Structure 1
Amino acid sequence: MSSPELLLRVLRSEMRAADLTYKELGERIGLSESSIKRMFSQGDMTLSRLTDVCKAIGVGLEEVLRQAADSTPCTDKLTLAQERALVADPKLLMVAICCLGHWTFEQIIETYAISEAECVGCLVKLDRLALIELRPLNRYRMRVSRAFRWLPDGPVQQLMRQHVVDDYFSGRFDGVGETLLCVHGRLTDPSAQALVNKIQQLAAELARLHQDDQRRPPELRDGYTLLLGLRSWEFAAFTAMRRTT
């Protein structure tokens, strides 16, 4: 994603957070709604206009530039050695998962039984593993993209299958904002790939909503986990009923 696209994505996110429409933004800077939409769709915005837009939204230009820089990804996966290092240290893996969820240093030590020194040590290790870029005051920038995925059948996925999946699916999935679906269909390979693309878009949407909701009070937010899978599969008990030829 180019720098202008990153800037526009940040501006749209800030507009949503401020409950500001294109029409209202146009009224604040003296442009029509159609002109605002054209400006955002074409990415045609001078520095002075960008400054006006930021002022109208109520966010500093420096903050917008920083968010755009922070959202620049480095990779979408770790190496086998990196994943093995995470799995070998439960606290390190826990802090890594928190970082992937964009938790602050303070939120981690307030929630889990980990000392400040231990948490700092984990952040230092994650910096060395290239998962994050550690910054002053225990702040960090993610060095993986929104499309980040654990290695297929890698150490983390194996750990999830052994200890996480059963615990996850033991829930009732009947709470607010919860659902469980199991849908079967016979598809061609291109159709299956198209569905995979839509699943990836859904995961990206969850990441976007998570980022937007970071501005909301902590008591209004809860932890949600989206666990999706798509594979060519048949229940073993049904396979045993197939006719033999």
Structure 2
Amino acid sequence: MPQISPLIKTLKKQLKANGHTYLDVAKLLDLSEASVKRLFAEQNFTLQRLEQICHMMGLEISELVQLMEGEQRKIIQLSLEQEQEIASDLLLLMVTACVINGYSYQDLIDQYDIKPTDCIQKLAALDRLKIIELLPNNRIKLLVAANFSWQRNGPIQKFFQEKVEQEFFSTGFDQDHESLIVVNGLLSKASNLEFQKKMQRLAKEFSELAQHDMALPMDNKHGNTVVLAIRRWQYNLFESIRKK
């Protein structure tokens, strides 16, 4: 079957969305849980097994393919022009960040001091920008992919760097929901690049957890921000006494 990798990724998402685990699949296929994990890791499914799993979720294979194609059509990044329009309007930026993280129209109205007419106006702007599809009764269909990201050094990334940086670090990081780890050491260029790959994998895991939690009621989740960074850098004090 073509495009097996994105198809299996979609299958995994549907299993999570329907509350199924690898153990459920193992029981269905009369396999061990370890064997099922290996099937997913190797992406080695027969059509019969794929059909069995789909039927467990009330899907046909053709419907799974449609879901996969829908995911592939989603936006993974905005254009600079789109980001500039959003970054120039603080309320629009707030609404954008919220809907990308799964907020509904009612969630926005309930949690923020925003007039319904203003909220609908901003949602309509996002519909025009093809970030969402605004459906009847103000329902929101998100058109961005799970791996969506802002433009590197783009208007929105710069906004958060300039406006949020000081506020983000103005805490002792001593609460149970906070953590700050600062390490330093001498790395080769190859080790630096390897660590950057690990950071990307960790960021992907964060996004997957956020996707999984989208189905939870809004009262059961809270906004979280992760900052991962690495660069060649020393404190200015150290640099000032470095031999030239």
Give me the TM-score of the superposition, normalised by structure 1. Answer: 0.81
Report what 1:157 is aligned to. Answer: 157
Q: Amino acid of the residue matched to residue 60 of structure 1?
A: G
Distance 2:170 2:124 in 1: 35
Q: Amino acid of the residue matched to residue 217 of structure 2?
A: P
Distance 1:151 1:140 in 2: 25
May I ask how many residue pairs the two structures share in their alignment?
Answer: 236
Report what 2:147 is aligned to. Answer: 146
CA contact (8 A) 2:75 2:145 kept: yes
Report what 1:175 is aligned to. Answer: 175
C-alpha displacement at 1:42, in angstroms? 2.9
1:46-61 pair list within 5 angstroms: 46=47, 49-56=49-56, 59-61=57-59
Q: Mind listing any 5+ residue stretches in structure 1 that lack a counterpart? A: none
1:120-135 pair list within 5 angstroms: 120-130=120-130, 132-135=131-134
1:59-70 pair list within 5 angstroms: 59-61=57-59, 67-70=67-70
C-alpha displacement at 1:144, in angstroms? 4.7
Distance 2:129 2:145 in 1: 11
Q: 1:32/1:218 Cα in 2 relative to 1: closer, same or farther (>3 Å)? A: same
CA contact (8 A) 2:100 2:144 kept: no
Q: Amino acid of the residue matched to residue 68 of structure 2?
A: A
Q: Mind listing any 5+ residue stretches in structure 2 that lack a counterpart? A: none
Q: Amino acid of the residue matched to residue 91 of structure 2?
A: K
Report what 1:42 is aligned to. Answer: 43
Q: 1:60/1:156 Cα in 2 relative to 1: closer, same or farther (>3 Å)? A: same
Report what 1:217 is aligned to. Answer: 217
Distance 1:12 1:161 in 2: 34
Q: 1:135/1:52 Cα in 2 relative to 1: closer, same or farther (>3 Å)? A: farther
Task: Note the alpha carbon deviations across 1:122-161, whole angstroms, 9 max, x for none.
Answer: 223223334x141423322233551523331x32233223
Distance 2:217 2:75 in 1: 31
Report what 1:104 is aligned to. Answer: 104
SS of 2:184's partner is: coil
C-alpha displacement at 1:3, in angstroms? 4.7
Q: Could you say what the CA RMSD is over the residues aligned between the two structures, in angstroms?
A: 2.8
Distance 1:54 1:106 in 2: 32
1:163-202 pair list within 5 angstroms: 163-202=163-202
C-alpha displacement at 1:211, in angstroms? 0.9
Identity of aligned residues (%): 28
1:67-82 pair list within 5 angstroms: 67-72=67-72, 74-82=74-82
